[in-house]
Structure 1
Amino acid sequence: MTDAPVVQTASGPVRGFWRDAGTPNASAAFLGIPFAEAPVGALRFAAPVPPEPWTDVRNATTYGATALRRDPGETLIPEPPIPGDAILNVNVFTPMSDEKLPVLVWIHGGGYTEGSPASPWYDGSRFNRDGVVTVTLSYRLGFDGFGWIEGAPHNRGVRDWIAGLEWVQQNIAAFGGDPDRVTIGGQSAGGGAVLTLLGMPGAQHLFHGALALSAALADIPVDVAKERGERLARILEIEPTLAGFRSVSESRILKTQPQAVGGRKGLGLLSGLIEDGLPWGPIIDGELVMRPAVDALASGVGSDKPLALGATDDEFTMIADQAPRALRVVPSAALLRGVLRDRGVRRAYLRANRPQRAKGSAAMVGRFVTDHVFRTLVVRVAEARRTADAETWVYAFSWVSPTKGWSCHCLDVPFWFDGLDRERVSDLAGPNPPQSLADDLHGAAVSFVTAGAPGWPAWRTEPGTARVFGGDGLPVSTTAYDDVLALV
């Protein structure tokens, strides 16, 4: 195992590198392999096009260019931006087994505007150790990937996901993976991508199971997407056409796109999520994405595929910690009145959340946003799938970060990847996060990818059934999501 591994793909040969060579945990990494041509020039704002073949061995030893162009600063997950045009690429982590191993394809999060497939948290070496080939893929972000443009295909970012998955079907066997056992997984916007794909009839042949962590759906109506695209064009003083947007530099669009959707931050971001949803993301265009994901799942799309999904208890509550002191003394009921106008629903929700309410108004508002965006979606999807007689497993991640004070957004990701020793995990999970919890979550993920079930009773065995990771009560509960039912 001294020679660098070389694999022949459909486009040409690639050279990777070994990790832990000579040990039972040896695996290979192949980074930055293009699954489509660089979306520049005549391909800017176009559907992805397969890469031109090559004959010489191509080095795949460093991460490829990312759609994330700017340094996002201090983020919960390390998200390195890498310059370059060829942003549509995959990273493959594999034990290079002679057997055909199950495959996990990971789609990164970042609100459909940020995130990077080159994050060290997404390294697949621990999945490789446990017999799973792992792929991370990139896609166009923000307006570039999801903005409405007259004369351009909608949902370019969704088309990138599909092109990446088509690459996996065509090539993963050469890396030791089984194209007939592909699970798509993702967190936050990546989890939303998973649910979107699961609800797309045209994508069903590309995967066989789905793992959605803290999923955030966009499901933007086409008329809303059109209004946002036209507003951005007005700000840029161009026509809202393909030629118009191609006349503007990428950097200028990146700088301007927040203005087209309000550019909110902090508590304004929370209210924006409640009132307007995510600013960019998959569009219900009636062509590629036919209907909202939950409606599609309820109709039976994807019902032949196992799904595991869940959320952390307080995804966004820590943002509410920034609330001014004066706001913190306002009663929870008064704060929620503006966003939860139905009096009966508001009272039922507050009754169901007395323990959270006792932590203060900021905690209650943060929990409401968490429930509105993430936790109600878990229940809606599980119930939609129950209607369609589909196998669905639900979890709740309840372990509290000692540094953030909440079971917050992204906290569970290094546990799922068994990567507690990776860069900056201690910033989020503290200096001594429990390895036993990582063993439980990672073990559940491996079981799901390899066997199609994570190891606890499915939702439909008794609606409400969920595996609670890191909580104080029983590991399997039928009440973990009862506190959101008033909102469903």
Structure 2
Amino acid sequence: MTRQGAVRGRMGDEGVASFLGIPYAAPPFGPRRFRAPAAPPSWEGVREAKAYGPTAPKAPYAPPFDTLIPEGRGGDGEDCLNLNVWTPQPGPNGGLPVLVWLHGGGFANGSSSASGYDGSAFARDGVVCVTVNYRLGTDGFLSLDGAPDNRGLLDQIAALEWVRENIESFGGAPDRVTVFGESSGAMGIGVLLGTERAAGLFGRAILQSGAAHHFLRPATAALIAARLAEYLGIEPTAERFAAVPLAELLPAQARLRAEIGRRPDPELWGDAALNVMPFEPVLPGLALPGPECGVQLLVGSNREENRLFMVPTGRMDAITEERLRLALTAYGLDPDRALAVYRATRPQASPGELLDVVATDWFYRIPAVRLAEAVPGSRLYEFAWRSPQFGGRLGACHAAELGFVFDNLRDPSYAAMLGNCPPQSLADTVHGAWVAFATTGDPGWAPYDRAARTTMIFDEESAPRQDPRARERALWEGVR
């Protein structure tokens, strides 16, 4: 039973019950377009919850990412603000810990219905797992006159409020909620940590390959809205965008993302020129949380994140020494000093391989370190297992940890990225750490501090290390 009415799910393997496609807010279209999420309608009788609900409208991933990062099942639709629950103990008074998943996708793609995000393994191990859809792209994150900013984050808050009000009926404890997310899902959590309305909705958070450094300042957000409006021949207002059919809006949105990748010019794109993401939370500036946020954190990144964007596209081999030095300058580093440090342990690395390491640090690793430094007691990790795909060059790339986190390596959607035989023992270790953190707050290694800088390295042989690649980390002091 939920606040809106009764739902009927399905009992699966190992005593895990699933309840799919439950609305946590009203459809955000028609008169609710570009508005804050509204309460979901109630229903009489029993609502079937045996199939995934519609997902947020979006343009598809461009090749080759459409095969490496599958979008999910269920199809796009207006009633997209729904969630899914897996539980080993349907019914009240279970008191189980709860994990709430916020998917990645650059704030423009992704869905909670991807088969790789099936929460059965978490429920098997005594944790209620919830996966959430939220608005994406223009509807979720474009800054428009006449509409509140960060509507996709408001959706996430509404989903967490639904969890607080309803999860006890599914065996979960509303005061034992951990929110976890990857990439843009984690970046959204980085914002929620400092959002007053989200305070008290979760006591722990896991941020995978994303932290608090990725957002757009209002001036940049206005540039991007104006550019997209120019494509469509309209004014950048909520009213005018609401009149554009999705069949026109979504291709224009994809064109915008492609153009910023081809021409990352700060004159055109402002802050977004460096991370090539036109849809992000809009904030006045960086605001790292402190001890007062009251949330225990597990945060980390993958060792070779940027290879996902460089190897399958061929960009890795197209990077010249000149382009590498220009990128270092754009990231705020002195090229001579930085190259001396990075090349010291990689004397044979190509310019493209060095750019992967530098971009990974700027985009993912250093923001994770800064968040761990800001919140005492945080746990830091690095996922280092290297995929054999693309002749072994894909490496420990962005999103490579997902199948291990969900202990779902057999799902065929992971094969293109992980190959046919990813190590189950590593999934046991990573998934077990996430379960332990959600259950007790201790994933199994010491907290991070500026003295030891303890970091768990996840690989076929996993172990904590103190301050890995210290000289490279030190390059970014005062820069990132």
Calculate the TM-score normalised by the size of structure 1: 0.88
Moved more, 142-151 or 212-221: 212-221
Aligned to 1:202: 197
- How far did 1:318 drift? 4.2
CA distance in 2, matches of 1:391, 1:155: 29
The aligned amino acid for 2:121 is: R
Aligned to 1:229: 225
CA distance in 2, matches of 1:159, 1:205: 15
1:107-147 Cα offsets, whole Å, 9 max, x none, are 00000000111011111111111110000011100111011
Structure-to-structure mapping, 1:91-170, within 5 angstroms:
91-96=84-89, 99-170=94-165
CA distance in 2, matches of 1:166, 1:276: 31
List alignment gaps of at least 5 residues for structure 1. Answer: 1-7, 286-290
Distance 1:301 1:115, change over 3 A: farther
Structure-to-structure mapping, 1:35-434, within 5 angstroms:
35-72=24-61, 74-80=66-72, 82-96=75-89, 99-215=94-210, 217-260=213-256, 263-265=259-261, 275=274, 277-284=276-283, 291-292=285-286, 295-298=287-290, 300-302=291-293, 304-321=294-311, 322-323=313-314, 327=318, 330-331=320-321, 334-341=322-329, 345-354=334-343, 355-356=345-346, 358-385=348-375, 390-404=376-390, 405=392, 406-434=395-423
The aligned amino acid for 2:72 is: P
CA distance in 1, matches of 2:295, 2:122: 21
Contact 1:15 1:30 in 2 (8 A): yes
CA distance in 1, matches of 2:215, 2:316: 35
Contact 2:297 2:377 in 1 (8 A): yes
Contact 1:345 1:486 in 2 (8 A): no
Calculate the TM-score normalised by the size of structure 2: 0.89
The aligned amino acid for 1:297 is: P
1:180-224 Cα offsets, whole Å, 9 max, x none, are 000000011111112111122321111110000111653111121
Count of matched residue pairs:
459
- How far did 1:253 drift? 1.6
Contact 1:317 1:362 in 2 (8 A): no
- How far did 1:479 drift? 2.5
CA distance in 1, matches of 2:373, 2:4: 42
CA distance in 2, matches of 1:399, 1:274: 30
- How far did 1:327 drift? 3.9
- How far did 1:156 drift? 0.6
List alignment gaps of at least 5 residues for structure 2. Answer: none
For the residue of structure 1 that corresponds to 2:279, the secondary structure is coil
CA distance in 1, matches of 2:16, 2:315: 50
- How far did 1:326 drift? 7.6
1:240-280 Cα offsets, whole Å, 9 max, x none, are 222211221122121112444662458979x9966255211
Contact 1:198 1:301 in 2 (8 A): no
- How far did 1:419 drift? 0.9
The yes-or-no answer on 1:9 pairing with 2:2 is yes
Moved more, 105-114 or 67-76: 67-76
- How far did 1:481 drift? 4.7
CA distance in 1, matches of 2:71, 2:264: 23
The aligned amino acid for 1:46 is: R
Aligned to 1:28: 17
Contact 2:142 2:225 in 1 (8 A): yes
Distance 1:481 1:140, change over 3 A: farther
The aligned amino acid for 1:486 is: L
CA distance in 1, matches of 2:333, 2:175: 49
CA distance in 1, matches of 2:263, 2:361: 16
Distance 1:264 1:377, change over 3 A: same
CA distance in 1, matches of 2:419, 2:272: 29
1:332-363 Cα offsets, whole Å, 9 max, x none, are xx333212229973334323323345231111
CA distance in 2, matches of 1:249, 1:145: 16
Contact 2:35 2:147 in 1 (8 A): yes
Contact 2:192 2:198 in 1 (8 A): yes
% of aligned pairs identical? 37
Distance 1:462 1:456, change over 3 A: farther
For the residue of structure 2 that corresponds to 1:460, the secondary structure is coil
CA distance in 2, matches of 1:336, 1:324: 12
Distance 1:242 1:393, change over 3 A: same
The aligned amino acid for 1:363 is: E
The aligned amino acid for 1:179 is: P
1:134-170 Cα offsets, whole Å, 9 max, x none, are 0001110011101111111111101000000000000
Distance 1:266 1:399, change over 3 A: farther
Distance 1:219 1:318, change over 3 A: closer
CA distance in 1, matches of 2:357, 2:272: 13
CA distance in 1, matches of 2:217, 2:316: 37
Distance 1:325 1:171, change over 3 A: closer
- How far did 1:464 drift? 2.1
Distance 1:358 1:479, change over 3 A: farther
For the residue of structure 1 that corresponds to 2:110, the secondary structure is coil
Moved more, 81-90 or 444-453: 81-90
CA distance in 2, matches of 1:370, 1:251: 35
The aligned amino acid for 2:84 is: N
Moved more, 341-350 or 395-404: 341-350
The aligned amino acid for 2:186 is: G
For the residue of structure 2 that corresponds to 1:462, the secondary structure is coil
Distance 1:94 1:325, change over 3 A: closer
Contact 2:86 2:129 in 1 (8 A): yes
Contact 1:297 1:381 in 2 (8 A): yes
CA distance in 1, matches of 2:142, 2:46: 36
Contact 2:56 2:111 in 1 (8 A): yes
For the residue of structure 2 that corresponds to 1:310, the secondary structure is strand
Distance 1:95 1:224, change over 3 A: same
